[in-house]
Amino acid sequence: MADRKNSTEVLVVGLGRFGSTAAIELERLGHEVLAIDQSDEVVQAFASVVTHVVSADATDEQVLMSLGVGSIEHALVAIGDDVEASILCTSALADLGVDEIRARATSKAHARILERVGATHVVFPERDMAVRIAHRVAGRMIDYIEIDEHFALVETFAPKDTEGQTLQEAQLRARFGITVVSIKPENGSFSYATPDSVLAPGSLLLVAGDKNAVERFAQTA
């Protein structure tokens, strides 16, 4: 069991694949999870997995109030296909004063409505994973994480023409407009990059920058 000394109480609404995975990971990290799902069968399956799990209508503000949701600062609305329920739940949580509401969206229109009714963060798990996998399959990247619309983190190899050089000598920021955050030598571990870090053959780089810049840089590997 994870240490709950510095735990945070988090509400997770919807225990489908996305919501249940998030709830389990939050528990593993030591947080106290209140999970809500309308299915009695699902609730029974997770009764011994998360701290508290209840079968309830999370679109009903009175129901949420009776569960003490108004005192929770963080919520994840992980409802999938039922767009109306997602919007109503997000709105109810905002009305109850939940400070941080992360809500799953299935489209840009859905996301705009969620933001208007009170979501502080909107996530697109399917789209984000699809983008990440596409870069890994079709490009020369080991991994790709989109931070926002214009910024990304990429794990890729060092360009062949820089092998044996230090970062200062390679001048990657000047040449490509990217920042090398960390370097992992072959058979080694990642460590913070410094101007004296050597780009040994087989080194992996964690690179940050504008999406177009990091994509161009990865093609040089």
- Residue that terminates a domain, selected from 73, 91, 123: 123
The pLDDT score that the predictor gives to residue 134 is 66
Q: Are residues 83 and 140 in the same domain?
A: no
The pLDDT tens digits for 124-146 are 877 776 666 665 665 567 887 87
Q: Are residues 29 and 93 in the same domain?
A: yes
CA distance 57 to 133: 35
Q: Are residues 146 and 103 in the same domain?
A: no
Q: How many domains does the chain have?
A: 2
Q: Please report which helix (H) or strand (E) contains residue 70, including its range.
A: none
- Residue that terminates a domain, selected from 95, 123, 151: 123
Q: Are residues 99 and 26 in the same domain?
A: yes
Q: Which domain, by its residues, includes 151?
A: 128-218
Is residue 2 one of the residues assigned to a domain? no
| Lowest-confidence segment of 26-40, 141-155, 157-171 by average pLDDT | 141-155
Is residue 164 one of the residues assigned to a domain? yes
Q: Are residues 119 and 132 in the same domain?
A: no
Q: Are residues 165 and 182 in the same domain?
A: yes
The pLDDT tens digits for 67-105 are 999 999 999 999 978 999 999 999 999 999 999 999 999
The pLDDT score that the predictor gives to residue 74 is 96
Is residue 3 one of the residues assigned to a domain? no
The pLDDT tens digits for 167-203 are 999 999 999 999 999 999 888 899 999 999 999 988 8
Task: Give the other-Cβ count within 10 Å of 62's Cβ.
Answer: 9
